[in-house]
Amino acid sequence: MTAGALPRSTARRVGAREQARRRPVVRPLVIFTIAVILAFFAVIYSRISLDRTAFELQRLDREIAVEQELHWDLRVDYARLQAPALITQRAAALGLVYPEDRYTIEISGMADTVGGPEDRWMDLRALFVEQP
Amino acid sequence: MARTRFRFVDLRLIAVGLVFVLAWAGIGYRLFRVQGADAAELAQLGFDQRVRHETIQAKRGTIYDRDGIELAVTVYGKALVADPSLVEAPGEAAAILAPIVGVDYVELIQRLEGDGRFTYVARRLESDTVERAREAIESADLIGFWFVEEPLRIYPSGALAAPVIGITRLDDGSGIEGIEAVMETELAGHPGKRVVERDQSGRAIPQAEFLLEPSVAGSDVVLTLDREIQYISETSLQAGIDRSGAFGGSVIVLDIANGEILAMVSLPGFDGSDRSALDPSTLRNRAITDVYEPGSTLKVVTVAAALEEGVIRPDTPFETPNEIEVGDETYSDHGSNPPVMTVSDIVAQSSNVGTIKIQRQLGNEAHYRYLDAFGLGRPASIDFAGESTGRLDHVSEWNNVAAGPSAAIGYGVGATPLQMASVFATLANDGEWVEPHVIAEIVASDGERTITEPRRHRVVSPETARTMRTMLRRVVEDGTGFRADIDEFPVGGKTGTTDKFDVATGKYSDTETIAWFIGIAPIDDPKIVVVVVLDSPSGMIAGGYDMSFGGTSAAPIFAEIAESTLHQLGVSPTHDGDA
């Protein structure tokens, strides 16, 4: 028994398959290349973003430092303005003097406040609460 | 000809080839050196140029008063510095910068013409001055000038309490006097470390910074001082010094219940923010370093000890001639004494003779025991550097028969104003000694608080202390301390006047005295003890009274301070004004 020729349709199918097998596999390569390119740009982008963020952080640090400096300058100014010597000097310039007659007003609960500032604040808070 | 041309071409080719070979060999050699032989060294050089190990300065802690007002605070200021080797025209630069930064033109030229590579042009510059100087440098295109940041210690209240707070060094900012020195470890904190990569312009490269160790800010120190009471005390003492022409003086205001020092004054003082006028002799805190013979103020210890031991009672009578001889020494009283005085009279009139008689009944051993228990002969507090121990010889060294009687009237014993404040505070506090202290609490940078707990011990019974206060009231009512009386509060206290001892000659001065007044206010419900000491007051006050005595020069200062302090503390007036 000898083999007969393949039917035409079958031969066509085998040829197409063979052609497909011989054709180089491009799609995965393209996808891989695109992925690599995307990854490359992603890395660059993230690097730039990191740098931008770092610069932004640096700027914020500088701003914090400036604000802290301002904060302490203001506190020093505040303390200087509260100095009794300065207040006395300003008061004298304004013509303020101690009165000849002094009257003592006793406020209940305020007499024994020899404690620290917290005690005094507690007394003052209590006083404020009682006020209408 | 052809052979010759061929040879010439050949030679040219060979020459060019050789040049190329040599050039490539040179490049290759250089490449070998750079990438091979010297690679490690060059890499290190580049690393060193780019990467720097920097110290992160720790912010120094702040010193507050009891109400949280800053007494000493560190801010970061700018200093203008120069590299004289880069400054092209020192004269021109000095002419531009000197008026802006406020330095002497000639002095600045000298510094800019110096040989070194670094000099300060001006330090502690305000921000607006920095801006003006920067603009001037840029517009004049001056080379070799730049700004550096440096910490500045600011004392916002100026000279107020300066001898107590102390001062720091300009170079490294460490404390050298006062609380700044005592609390150096706590205030300084710990500097940190970091590695920074910088570009050619000196700018830090982002993401190239590594923190090796963070800095830890110094702890804040809260003092017991009250700024208003401190100011009242300073102005009153200064007025007293001006009135009496004294060389200087001290004041201590002590809260008797807890040993808190509300004010501590030492004059003449200084202003830590103005170092140009700093006199080293004013740096010391006289209230803790200067030792004086306390004179009559120490009689309270003699009498309290005798009362506590049951040797005497307030109404025990003593014969009081004007003079008494003990060994080779003769002790006398000012003025004329009545023939008999009670213990209460002896205290009120400050009789030396009567006090010596009481001491002889008490005996040296018991007398010494009480002097020791009241805190004499050792530092009164642990809060001060350089606090003197005073002088109290052990009783076994009281070989001279007059040692005990002398100690009874405050001679031969040395005490600081703080020690004497502590003695009177013990009597005011019903006989319990409480350690005087100026540091209320230490607040670490993480918020942890360390609150001072003063030491305490009983010296005499509450009854003895009350009896002593009654006698001290009499001193002010009808004794030597009447100038200490104030209208709104009943006060008590003791005057003291001792001849000034000259260490150089080893003799007592005939003209100079140490004048004391130590008082308790209010005497019926004690809140504070005020010590006033004047060094060599002189002159006369109205009525022809000699200012060299404690009763005439120091007592009025006490009255001013005590009255204002009680107002400041919110103590209600209780006195009917009969004294």
Name the minimum distance, in Å, from the CA of A116 to any CA of chain B: 6
Q: Which residues of A touch B (CB under 8 A)?
A: 50-51, 54-55, 57-58, 69, 72-73, 75-76, 79-80, 82-85, 88, 104, 106, 110-114, 116-117, 120
Q: Which of A59, A60, A114 to mutate to test the interface with B (most CBs of B within 10 A)?
A: A114
Residue A3 carries which side chain, given as an amino acid letter?
A
Residue A80 CB neighbours (<10 A): 16
Tell me the chain A residues in contact with residue B70 when contact means C-beta distances shorter than 8 Å.
75-76, 79
Contact across the interface for A116 and B154, Cβ inside 8 Å:
no
Tell me the chain A residues in contact with residue B527 when contact means C-beta distances shorter than 8 Å.
114
List pLDDT tens digits, range B55-64.
888 889 999 9
Tell me the chain A residues in contact with residue B199 when contact means C-beta distances shorter than 8 Å.
none
User: Higher-confidence residue: B126 or B98?
Assistant: B98
List pLDDT tens digits, range B468-505.
999 999 999 988 899 999 988 999 999 999 998 887 78
Q: At B81, phi and psi to the nearest 5? A: -125, 165
Residue B424 to residue A109: CA distance in whole angstroms:
28
Name the minimum distance, in Å, from the CA of A40 to any CA of chain B: 21
List pLDDT tens digits, range A21-34.
777 778 888 999 99
Q: Output the pLDDT for position A132.
A: 45
Residue B187 has pLDDT above 90, yes or no: yes
Q: Output the pLDDT for position B11.
A: 83
Q: Which of B59, B63, B70 to mutate to test the interface with A (most CBs of A within 10 A)?
A: B70
Residue B367 to residue B358: CA distance in whole angstroms:
10
Residue B570 touches chain A, beta carbons under 8 Å: yes
Q: CA nearest B159 in A: which residue?
A: A85
Residue B69 touches chain A, beta carbons under 8 Å: yes
Number of inter-chain CB pairs under 8 A, A vs B: 74
Residue the block writes with tokens 């590579």? B117
User: Higher-confidence residue: B495 or A73?
Assistant: B495
The helix, strand and coil proportions of chain B, stated in percent and rounded to the nearest 5, come to 40, 25, 35
By CB neighbour count within 10 A (0-12 exposed, 13-18 middle, 19+ buried), where does B397 fall? exposed
Tell me the chain B residues in contact with residue A114 when contact means C-beta distances shorter than 8 Å.
255, 257, 527, 569-571
Tell me the chain B residues in contact with residue A112 when contact means C-beta distances shorter than 8 Å.
570
List pLDDT tens digits, range B57-89.
888 999 999 998 999 999 888 889 888 888 889
Residue B578 has pLDDT above 60, yes or no: no
- How large is the average pLDDT for residues B144-153? 84
Instruction: Say if residues B218 and B61 touch (Cβ distance below 8 Å).
Output: yes
Contact across the interface for A111 and B228, Cβ inside 8 Å:
no
Residue B91 touches chain A, beta carbons under 8 Å: no
Residue A124 has pLDDT above 50, yes or no: yes
Residue B66 touches chain A, beta carbons under 8 Å: yes
Contact across the interface for B572 and A54, Cβ inside 8 Å:
no
Q: What is the DSSP string of B200-264?
A: TTSPBPTT--EEEE--BPPPEEEES--HHHHHHHHHHHHHHHHHHT-SEEEEEEEETTT-BEEEE
A105, two tokens: 């007003």
Q: Output the pLDDT for position B47.
A: 80
Residue B64 carries which side chain, given as an amino acid letter?
Y
Residue B201 has pLDDT above 60, yes or no: no
Contact across the interface for A110 and B570, Cβ inside 8 Å:
yes
The pLDDT-based confidence of B173 (bands split at 50, 70, 90) is confident
Facing A116 at nearest CB: one of B73, B440, B569:
B440
Tell me the chain B residues in contact with residue A103 when contact means C-beta distances shorter than 8 Å.
none
Facing A82 at nearest CB: one of B69, B74, B76:
B69
3-state secondary structure B274-285: CHHHCCHHHCCC
Q: Output the pLDDT for position B579.
A: 36
- Closest alpha carbon to B386 in B60, B153, B162, B164: B164
Tell me the chain B residues in contact with residue A120 when contact means C-beta distances shorter than 8 Å.
67
- How large is the average pLDDT for residues B33-59? 84
Q: Give the range among B208-212, B279-283, B568-572 with minimum mean pLDDT.
A: B208-212
- How large is the average pLDDT for residues B463-470? 96
List pLDDT tens digits, range B363-408.
999 999 999 999 999 998 877 878 899 999 999 999 888 899 999 9
Residue B577 has pLDDT above 50, yes or no: no
Torsion of CA B102, B103, B109, B112, to 10 degrees: -90
Q: Across all residues in chain A, what is the average pLDDT?
A: 78
Instruction: Say if residues B560 and B234 touch (Cβ distance below 8 Å).
Output: no
Facing B156 at nearest CB: one of A69, A76, A112:
A76
Q: What is the DSSP string of B354-385?
A: HHHHHHHHH-HHHHHHHHHHTTTTS-S-SS-T
Q: Output the pLDDT for position B162.
A: 94
Instruction: Say if residues A44 and A50 touch (Cβ distance below 8 Å).
Output: no
Residue B397 to residue B384: CA distance in whole angstroms:
29
Contact across the interface for A113 and B228, Cβ inside 8 Å:
no
Residue B203 touches chain A, beta carbons under 8 Å: no
ipTM: 0.72
Residue B479 to residue B476: CA distance in whole angstroms:
6
Contact across the interface for B160 and A82, Cβ inside 8 Å:
no
E strands within B420-560? 432-434, 439-443, 449-451, 456-458, 492-502, 507-521, 528-535, 540-541, 545-546
- Closest alpha carbon to B569 in B279, B243, B232, B178: B232
Q: Which of A56, A59, A72, A86 to mutate to test the interface with B (most CBs of B within 10 A)?
A: A72
Residue A128 has pLDDT above 60, yes or no: no
Tell me the chain B residues in contact with residue A104 when contact means C-beta distances shorter than 8 Å.
488, 572-573
Facing B228 at nearest CB: one of A50, A58, A84:
A84
The pLDDT-based confidence of A116 (bands split at 50, 70, 90) is low
Name the minimum distance, in Å, from the CA of A38 to any CA of chain B: 24
Residue A58 CB neighbours (<10 A): 16
Residue B278 has pLDDT above 90, yes or no: no
Q: Are strands B220-223 and B63-64 parallel, antiparallel or unpaired?
A: parallel
Contact across the interface for B156 and A85, Cβ inside 8 Å:
no
- How large is the average pLDDT for residues B167-178? 87
Contact across the interface for B204 and A58, Cβ inside 8 Å:
yes
Contact across the interface for A76 and B73, Cβ inside 8 Å:
yes
Q: At B522, phi and psi to the nearest 5? A: -70, 150
User: Higher-confidence residue: B284 or B4?
Assistant: B284
Tell me the chain A residues in contact with residue B228 when contact means C-beta distances shorter than 8 Å.
84
Tell me the chain A residues in contact with residue B76 when contact means C-beta distances shorter than 8 Å.
69, 72
